[in-house]
Amino acid sequence: MATGSACAASPASLPRRGRPCSKAGREATAWADGPRFPPPAPIVKGGAMTSGELQDLFLSTLVRRAGGNRRRWRLVLGDIKVYDTATHPHCNWSLTPTGSAGENDTVERLADELRVSHPIVRR
């Protein structure tokens, strides 16, 4: 057993809640002080995804993060509006959630994340 580490010295010095005890260990572990949820994985199929694929990504991520069922989240999401890239060159889609304040907040936070990884969608 290595003797240079304080973590290996005694059970009392073991990290709590699965966190490494050294700063270097925390920096190497993405979950130590990172986001509460992993970012959604981008779907790459040779170009921009369609609005239907984006809605599926929204639904699966919302069910995984916030719980509930796909039907409820589909009602909260509504339709994804796709605009022409000539007038909206940086992000050509938007949505208007119609749920409770907490549901709308969850949807808007996820929309901000997905706008970074999927700014342009096809119809």
Residue-by-residue pLDDT tens, the chain, 123 positions: 445 544 454 555 555 555 555 555 544 554 455 556 666 665 555 568 999 999 999 999 999 999 999 999 999 999 999 999 999 999 999 999 999 999 999 999 999 999 999 999 998
From 80, 69, 115, 75, select the one nearest 98 (Cα to Cα). Answer: 75
Q: What are phi and psi of 46, to 5 degrees?
A: 80, 55
d(CA 31, CA 70): 27
Q: Are residues 17 and 55 in the same domain?
A: no
Structural tokens at position 78: 């509504």
* Residue 113: domain span: 49-122
Q: Are residues 57 and 107 in the same domain?
A: yes
What does each C-alpha distance from 39 to 8, 47, 86, 115, 116 come to in angstroms? 32, 20, 29, 12, 11
Report the domain count for the chain. 2
Report if pTM > 0.85.
no
The answer to whether residue 65 sits within a structural domain is yes
